[in-house]
Amino acid sequence: MNYEISRTYSIKKGILVPYIMSTHPVMVDYRLPFENMIAVGNYSWSSSEINAMHFPFTGKRRIRSTMTLVLFDEYMESKEVIRALNEMKLRAARLPEFLAFGARYPDLQNKFPIVGLGSVWKDPYDRGRVPILWNDFQQRHLDLGWFDYPWAKYYCFAAVYKRLRRRVLL
């Protein structure tokens, strides 16, 4: 695990805001059926709304990648987080990457909630929902958060570098 403490511009206020980043190698196996991707995470509870119908994806390979967790020191809306990640040459993690990360590093969600903004499902009321890893008295949960609500200071955001920083394994 590699940590970097840095500063970036606040999108809302135009001032420097500290953020903390940590990097974590992860193997994403797109060959696994969707249900198995969730089962490998061994969650105490997972939302039934996180399924292949609501979060479709394609892929037939195993890919090595590096997940970067970013923690901002302010309340931010999802679009602001995505803009800030973009400025850092990152993109929000998509659900298969997010699930592989949750399975590989189960204890991290006991320290802080982790959000994957790269996959958004529109619920029947047209509200955006995104996957989130969190805990409740050491019970690990895979749940959905609201895309349109602001995130508190203690939420981490899962991201990967935009440049191809992964190796395809057959």
- Whether residue 30 has pLDDT greater than 90: yes
C-beta separation of 158 from 92 below 8 A = yes
State pLDDT tens for residues 66-123.
999 999 888 999 999 999 899 888 999 999 999 999 999 999 999 999 999 999 999 9
Parse the chain into domains and list their residue ranges.
2-169
Residue 122 burial (CB < 10 Å; 0-12/13-18/19+)?
Answer: exposed
Dist CA 143 CA 80 (whole Å): 22
What whole-number distance in Å separates Cα of residue 50 and Cα of residue 65? 22
85 phi and psi angles, rounded to 5 deg = -60, -45
- Residue 2 confidence class, pLDDT cut points 50, 70, 90: low
Q: Comparing C-alpha atoms, which of 99, 133, 92, 131 is closest to residue 113?
A: 133
* Cα–Cα nearest to 67, from 79, 85, 87: 85
Q: What is the pTM of this model?
A: 0.86
Non-local CB neighbours of 162 within 8 Å, separated by 6+ positions: 89, 90, 91
Query: In this model, does residue 7 exceed pLDDT 70?
Result: no
Distance CA 168, CA 18 (A): 34
The amino acid at 86 = N
pLDDT class of 169 with cuts at 50, 70, 90: low
